[in-house]
Structure formats: structure tokens, C-alpha cells
Amino acid sequence: MTSQTLREARKYEEVSRKVIREEERPAFHLSCCTGWMNDPNGFSYYNHKYHMFYQYHPYDSTWGPMHWGHAVSGDLLHWEFLPAALAPDEPYDRDGCFSGSAVELPDGRQLLMYTGVTRERTPEGDLCELQTQCLAVGDGLDYEKYGQNPVLDRTDLPEGASVHDFRDPKIFQVKDGTYRCVTGSRPADGSGQVLLFGSEDGFRWSFRKILAENHSRFGKMWECPDFFELDGKQVLLVSPQDMLPKGFEYHNGNGTLCLIGSYDEETDVFTEEADQSIDYGIDFYAPQTILTPDGRRVMIGWMQNWDTCAVSGPTSRELPWFGQMSLPRELFIKNGRLFQKPVRELEDMRGSRVSHEKVTFSDVIRLPGVEGRQIDMEIELEAGDAERIYQKFAVRFAQNEQYHTAVSFRPRESVLKIDRKFSGSRRAVIHQRRCLVRSEEGKLRLRLILDRFSVEVFINDGEQVMSATIYTDQAADGISFFADGSVTMNVVKYDLKSR
Ligand code: FRU
């Protein structure tokens, strides 16, 4: 039975999405149907389609009472909107259906697990949020909330864990067919931890273990955990709030963290071995992964960041939608690190190809045929003069007389920088970020994917990624290259077809 609240949301989005023209959206990144989008939710493969739900406020392009938006795709790049799946319409989720995940049940139905939020007044008169875990079951289009919601509440928490910060269940099935879920939680020390719960049937849940503890090492509260096996290792992804910077690895504010280690399924013990950022750019948060039918672990994140969008200004708000997802990225482990590559399906979108080989330069150049805002471009750099390594290289794109966004590299420091200061932003938010890359003698490999309102830079075949949104006028589609000192470069650029 569809509630009045959900019916209204569905009616509203059906009408208002029609006023958004195709070219006002990214071509192959999922953007919000209408209004506001944050975290990916319920990312899954179900009934021969990829499903993506998302944190959604249809009525405005700012965050508000959370619904779940819904879209499907055959290739993870071309998305079709379906009607909103969940609305905050029950006593236990009346103030929001927060992030969660999806799994297919043995009877073929799809199970959604999400955080129900209610706000209550304390006896002192303060407003406080209660978070519990809830279920909904459906057929890929319509979902019915479970009659016995919530299935996890304050009574299931270990000692000291906060009832206000208990959210974002990521559900998965283990070898014996039973279910587990991990959630974010705030322990008594005020930082973050990940809790592990178990269930025989997906409906009756119980606490198993504290899977990982932050102890304020990486920010404070940990949001949106994901936990999976990858290339013989176990990976825990979380999105910490309130980070302090650590060299060029972690930056201030909301960040992303990947812990790589091993896991004993018998004892539920996760042993950490290494940590790293997931994305080193400006806009990436709360990623979620799936296992595709052909066995690839693919991750999509929210291509935004709370610290930069909370105060973003007229430029982005001129759009009738706010919020888009990152490219789907295939994950793998190499030399103990998490690597990411754009899903291979992206190669099917490649249209005309332009290449320039062994271009040696030491000033500003443009190359014939190299331009565009919907492109896949590979750049291979090396020193033009092995005796004297160049000082700096930069590629500028989304460029005209007024605007450009730049990715620049200083080989002597091994620092790669993204800078969107001149992308049309009128707000004093973060416009630059740097990252330390692996480079010898000025060699570096970059792959830039541009899709109208974003850039994603894959460094050294996916060893690191930097993502950023840009809202620059689409007419700014120039690309130029700059070198201080002699650089030799190979460039291959493909236009990416929309359909
Ligand atoms: C992360 C997050 C989640 C929460 C959701 C609310 O971006 O804060 O922890 O479930 O957004 O929209």
C-alpha cells in the first residue's frame, strides 16, 4: 500500500523532472531526478538490472526530509528514473529514511534495509534524533515497509553506543546463506565504530560484534560502512566526519577511508593492515559497492562533500537538481593498495578518437581536436630532457577566456593538484586539493573523465583518484597544456557519446 506521502512525492517528481532538459544533466553520471540527492543507497543487481536508490529530497535542491529516490540501468552509465521508493511516512521514520542497502531474498523479493529517523524533545527541551534500522520488501518498483519495524533499536546496541548515531546498514549474505549487516555507530569516546549484526532470514537481527573501532584516529563518527572481500583481502570502507588532515593523505572535514586487512568469518575478527583515502579530490563521499554478475566489485560514491555543498552558492543552485553520483569504478587490490578504474562499460561509449604522440613542449600549447566536456582522455608524461626534469606540468580544461579548471603536477615534489578556482564558483569553499603521487623521473599517467559538470582523474592506472564537480558554463570546452621545463607527452582523447 502506497502512502499518501509517497504518492505525493511520486506525483511531484513526475511533473518537475520534465522541466529538466537532458543537457542540463550529466550525460552518464546518475543525477537527482529532481531536487536534492546525497548518498547512494541500495546499490544492487536485481531482476537483470542495476538498481540505485539514493538519499533524496524531491521538493527542494537542499537537504530535507529524506526519501529514497530510485533509478535502474543496464550498464551502470545510462540510468532511467523509477518512482521514489521510500518516503518518511511511518511513526518510526517520520523524520527521514536515511541511508541503507539492498539484498535479494531467496523468494525473489528485494529487501531494503535503511535507517529510520525520528526527532524528539528531551525533557530539557532540546531536539534529539533517534536512529533505528528498518526494512522494506519489494519487487524492484514498489516496496512495503515491514510490519515489525524497527528491527534494530537501542536494545541491540553494545554498551556506550549512542542511540542518536546509529545508521547506514549495509547488508550482505555470507557463505552459509545467512545475512550480516554493518552499521556506523558512535561509541562512548565520541568517535566512531562499525557494528556487525547477524540474521538467519534477513528479518530477525541480533548484535554480533564491534567490528572496527576508530578511537579518534580517522575523524570522529564513521558513516556509511561497506565491508567485503577483494582479491584475497578484506576491505572496510567508511566515511568519517570531522577529519583532521594527515599529510596529503587525509584532509579536513568529511573524508573517505579504506581499511585493508583480513577477516575471520568464524570469529568475526577483522584485522587492519593498511589505511588510505578512497578519493583524494574534493567531491566524493559515502560510497557503496556491489558485486556484478561477472564478479567485479564496483563502487559508486556521492560526488559531493558536505563541507563544500552546505554553503554552495548560486552557481550550483541555478541547476534544477543538486547532487550526482561518481562514475562506477571497478576495485582491485595491488601492492596492498585499493585501486580504482572506470567500469569497462565506459569504453563502449567512446566515439571519435584523437591522438598525439611524443609531443615535446615547454610552454602553453593546444592540440588539434583536443577539446570537449564529455570526454575520456589519457595523458602519459615524461621528462623532455632527462638531465633536467621539468618544474611543472598542467592540463587545463573547461576553458575559455574567463574559466578553466586545472590538474597540475610538480614532479620534484611528486604532488598533483586539482584546482577549480576558475570554474565559475562564487563561494569561498574548497577549490583546490593536492595529493602525493608515485612518480619517477617525471613520469606520470593520468586518465581524465569529463562529464559536463564533473572531472574524475585516475592516476597511474587507478592507484589514486581525484574527483571534483564543476558547474562551469558548458561553452567553456577548451583544453590546453602547460609545461615549465621540457615535457614529452602522449595524449589520446575520445568523445563520449550520450546514447
Ligand atoms: C552521509 C549521511 C548518512 C545518513 C545520510 C542522511 O552522507 O549523513 O550517515 O544516513 O547522510 O541523509
Rounded to the nearest whole angstrom, what is the distance from the C-alpha of residue 167 to the centroid of ligand 1?
8
Ligand 1, atom 8: closest residue by C-alpha? 223
Q: Which atom of ligand 1 approaches the CA of 55 most closely? A: 12
Q: Is there an atom of ligand 1 within 6 Å of 55 CB?
A: yes
| β-pair partners for 409 | 393, 416
The arithmetic mean of pLDDT across residues 273-285, rounded, is 98
pLDDT value, residue 308: 83
**Distance separating alpha carbons of residues 120 and 137, to the nearest angstrom:** 27
Tell me the per-residue pLDDT of 365-414, one tens digit each, with 9 for 90 and over: 999 999 999 999 999 999 999 999 999 999 999 999 999 999 999 999 99
Q: Using most ligand atoms within 8 A of CB, pick from 66, 68, 99 the residue to mutate for ligand 1.
A: 99
Query: 312 pLDDT band (50/70/90 cuts)?
Result: low
Rounded to the nearest whole angstrom, what is the distance from the C-alpha of residue 203 to the centroid of ligand 1?
23
pLDDT value, residue 428: 87
Q: Is there an atom of ligand 1 within 6 Å of 102 CB?
A: no
Tell me the per-residue pLDDT of 82-96, one tens digit each, with 9 for 90 and over: 999 999 999 999 999
Q: What is the mean pLDDT of the chain?
A: 96
pLDDT value, residue 427: 86
Query: 317 pLDDT band (50/70/90 cuts)?
Result: low
Query: 316 pLDDT band (50/70/90 cuts)?
Result: very low
pLDDT value, residue 480: 98
Rounded to the nearest whole angstrom, what is the distance from the C-alpha of residue 169 to the centroid of ligand 1?
11
Rounded to the nearest whole angstrom, what is the distance from the C-alpha of residue 458 to the centroid of ligand 1?
26
Q: Using most ligand atoms within 8 A of CB, pick from 37, 38, 67, 306 the residue to mutate for ligand 1.
A: 38
Q: Is there an atom of ligand 1 within 6 Å of 37 CB?
A: no
- With 0-12 / 13-18 / 19 or more C-beta atoms within 10 angstroms meaning exposed / middle / buried, residue 295 is exposed
Q: Using most ligand atoms within 8 A of CB, pick from 60, 98, 114, 284 the residue to mutate for ligand 1.
A: 98
Count of other CB atoms within 10 angstroms of residue 384: 20
SS in 3 state form for 107-139? Answer: CCCEEEEEEEEEEEECCCCCEEEEEEEEEEEEC
Q: Is there an atom of ligand 1 within 6 Å of 395 CB?
A: no
Query: 318 pLDDT band (50/70/90 cuts)?
Result: low
pLDDT value, residue 315: 47
Which of 295, 313, 268 lies closest to 423 in space, CA to CA? 313
Q: Is there an atom of ligand 1 within 6 Å of 166 CB?
A: no
Rounded to the nearest whole angstrom, what is the distance from the C-alpha of residue 239 to the centroid of ligand 1?
10
pLDDT value, residue 122: 84
Do residues 381 and 409 touch, judged by C-beta distance below 8 A?
yes
pLDDT value, residue 1: 73
Catalytic residues: 39
Q: Is there an atom of ligand 1 within 6 Å of 185 CB?
A: no
pLDDT value, residue 307: 87
Q: Is there an atom of ligand 1 within 6 Å of 93 CB?
A: no
Q: Is there an atom of ligand 1 within 6 Å of 99 CB?
A: yes
Rounded to the nearest whole angstrom, what is the distance from the C-alpha of residue 39 to the centroid of ligand 1?
7
